[in-house]
Amino acid sequence: MIVANLTTPAQLFHALRRQVKGEARKPLVVMSPKSLLRLPAAVSKPSDFTDAAFQPVIPATADPAAAKRLVFCSGKLYYELANAAGPEVALARIEQLYPWPEADVRAEIERYAGAEVIWAQEEPENMGAWSFLRPRLDALLEAATGDGSKRAQYAGRKASASPAVGSGKVHASEQEALIARAVGTSREEAEALKPVMGASA
């Protein structure tokens, strides 16, 4: 099985192409919301289709010397984080959650060796990918440091019995808080940020 949460049209194209052309027949589960269909930032260049291939992890573009936070995320949350992040925040997208792209994630951790590692998600703490990724991220951090002194941090909603709070205002407030936690801004700064998309999925 392959589980993916894709952020660009080219990634979807290459994932589907790989699925058709691959020798092994296995299910492909894609968790991408409708909102990315109308998001101006979620676009791909023609060369992304013709000259590229599927990327299990889309690397961060921040300067490793300046980055103090390496934030891993997946799916549409990336665009909201990118809108809020400054030069001290490196954003890496885990596009394929399973099979776990260990080598690609390790490369990002090693490239940003001095940065705090954070996983950001919109789902409550007991949902989403956090419970799956946490031990894997911690294992890579332990291997990188050699002493286990570094652990992955969580930026997201508190654990909940329900996947949604049922209130648009509360949802938006929680979203601002988790973005602020992920990129290291204050709550006031996060609230002043111009959103790139609506609060709903």
Does residue 61 form part of some domain?
Answer: yes
pLDDT tens digit sequence for 99-118: 999 999 999 999 999 999 99
Separation CA 191–CA 49 (nearest Å): 36
Q: Are residues 114 and 69 in the same domain?
A: yes
- Report the C-alpha dihedral over residues 47, 27, 41, 162, rounded to 10 degrees: -170
Q: Do 19 and 34 lie in a common domain? A: yes
Give kind and range of the element (H or E) at residue 11.
helix 9-21
Same domain, 73 and 131: yes
Element (H, E) at 111: helix 102-111
Kindly state whether residues 32 and 111 are assigned to the same domain: no
Instruction: Domain of residue 27: give its range.
Output: 2-50
Q: Are strands 57-58 and 96-98 parallel, antiparallel or unpaired?
A: unpaired
In a domain, 89, yes or no: yes
Token pair, residue 136, equals: 């894997």
The residue whose two tokens read 């776990």 is: 100
Model confidence pLDDT, tens digit, residues 148-199: 788 999 999 988 887 777 788 888 888 888 999 999 876 555 455 444 433 3
- pTM for this entry: 0.87
pLDDT above 70 for 63: yes
CA dihedral (149, 93, 120, 67) in degrees, to 10, reads: 50
Tell me, yes or no, whether 165 lies in a domain: yes
Domain CATH for 96: 3.40.50.11610
Q: Does the residue 133 lie in any domain? A: yes
Number of domains in the chain: 2
